[in-house]
Chains A and B, each alone.
Chain A
Amino acid sequence: MNKKLPVNLSPFIKTRYAYKKLKICRSCNHFTVLGDKQCMICGKKALISIDRKAASMLRRSMWKARLIAMLILLIGLVLSQSPMLLGLCAAGGIVLIAVLWIVQRKSAPAEQLMLLEKLFHKEANKLAAGLTADRDAAIAVFQSGNKPLTYEMLREVGALVQTDQLRLEQILLLQSFVLRKDMDLMLKPLLLDHFNPDLADYIGELSKIRRDLIKEDAFRYVLMYEGQILQMEHGESILIGVAGAAIRMKRYITLYPYLIIRYAHKLPKERFLRLYRMVQSSPHRNWEQLADEVERIYNEKYKWDEDFQTSHNPNN
């Protein structure tokens, strides 16, 4: 039997857009999602965020236009034949350069996105090679025996590269750790489009410690592969856990009533009590079959339980 490792995982820093995780080396243009400053290819401390790179490209291109405008103005000033012309040229030139400056400032956010798009197209091969190098670096760390760091590296790569292989590697690593509630865990990015017992196990563990991570995609996954999960050694307890997680929100009860009906009789008392209270407090909802099943289980197991007495409404 594999012994699970107690580990401390550093929190995953989410960015609003995944591409913002990218860093680029100012020296060799190597793309990476790993490392803070030092480039793993050229070894120089020249890594900068992709936004900073785009901002510096933008500054350069805007200054180029301003310098051309200033040069034209300077030629006009040098070659002006009278003080009146000099004044006219200076005033007109300053106004025009100011207009250019204002237009540039207003266009800066859009320009920055355009430059990024251009950069990604131009350096597509380097981008793909960079992320491949990141994954290879993670595998090298795994071979050196540092599993938590490997997971953290794969998690960073996985924010952008979404392949089943990468997901599986992360799931397997997570399954080798002792998972705790305070860990920065995730589920949605790891869901596969085929059945995998390790993923099912992971969902089962999450249903005990982080029910909030089990959302619609996970419910759909579990429902789709319910038969295979039931054939697993602890398959039923996984499904009971997931059914218990569905009781977290009324929306999930409405969406997946049959999942709950099938496993309601095996729910832990605390989860069943929650289900019971939710069903009791929502008589207007269309939960007839579920309400009947809940009432049946209540009568069978909890009729004389004190915790249930405060919530029982015989008219419902």
Chain B
Amino acid sequence: MVTYVCLGLLFLFVVIKSANYYSRRKRAPSPEQLDILVRSILKSGQRERE
């Protein structure tokens, strides 16, 4: 019985993780967006410094 529960748990874990990975794949930023993000962080950092 415990074995079935563990197998079920493992199945659920893999399904949830996979779904998570798929949804994150769609939401992942592009390298261009990361470039923009870094520049905007640095720009606001510069403004604060000034």
Interface residues of chain A, those whose CB is within 8 Å of chain B, are 16-19, 22, 65, 68-69, 72-73, 75-77, 79-81, 85-86, 88-89, 92-93, 96-97, 99-100, 103-104, 106-107, 109-111, 113-114, 116-117, 120-121, 124-125, 127-129, 131-132, 160-163
Closest to A76 in B: B6
A69-B28 contact given A79-B2, A93-B7, A125-B45, CB 8 Å threshold: no
- Find residues 1-50 in chain B having any chain A CB closer than 8 Å to their own CB: 2-3, 5-7, 9-11, 13-14, 17-18, 21-22, 24-25, 27-35, 37-39, 41-46, 48-49
Chain A interface SS verdict (over half): helix
Report whether B18 and A100 are in contact in the complex, using a CB–CB cutoff of 8 Å: yes
Write out the residue numbers on chain B whose beta carbons fall within 8 Å of the beta carbon of A88: 3, 7
Q: Which 6 A-B pairs have the closest CB atoms?
A: A128-B45, A76-B6, A110-B28, A107-B21, A79-B2, A80-B3
CA distance A131 to B45 in the complex (A): 9
Contact of B39 among A18, A72, A75, A111 (CB under 8 A): A18
Write out the residue numbers on chain B whose beta carbons fall within 8 Å of the beta carbon of A163: 43, 46
Count A-B pairs with CB separation below 8 Å. 131
A117-B10 contact given A132-B49, A163-B46, CB 8 Å threshold: no
Apart from the given pairs A113-B34, A163-B46, 15 other A-B contacts in the complex at a CB distance below 8 Å: A19-B37, A69-B13, A69-B14, A79-B2, A89-B6, A93-B7, A96-B11, A103-B22, A110-B24, A111-B21, A111-B25, A113-B28, A127-B38, A127-B45, A128-B46
Write out the residue numbers on chain A whose beta carbons fall within 8 Å of the beta carbon of B2: 75-76, 79-81
A–B complex contacts, Cβ < 8 Å, 6 sampled: A68-B13, A72-B9, A80-B3, A93-B10, A111-B21, A125-B45
Write out the residue numbers on chain B whose beta carbons fall within 8 Å of the beta carbon of A106: 21, 25
B38 to nearest A CB, angstroms? 4
CA distance A109 to B18 in the complex (A): 15
Report whether B21 and A76 are in contact in the complex, using a CB–CB cutoff of 8 Å: no
Write out the residue numbers on chain A whose beta carbons fall within 8 Å of the beta carbon of B29: 113-114, 117
Write out the residue numbers on chain B whose beta carbons fall within 8 Å of the beta carbon of A111: 21, 24-25, 28
Write out the residue numbers on chain B whose beta carbons fall within 8 Å of the beta carbon of A104: 21
CA distance A151 to B26 in the complex (A): 41
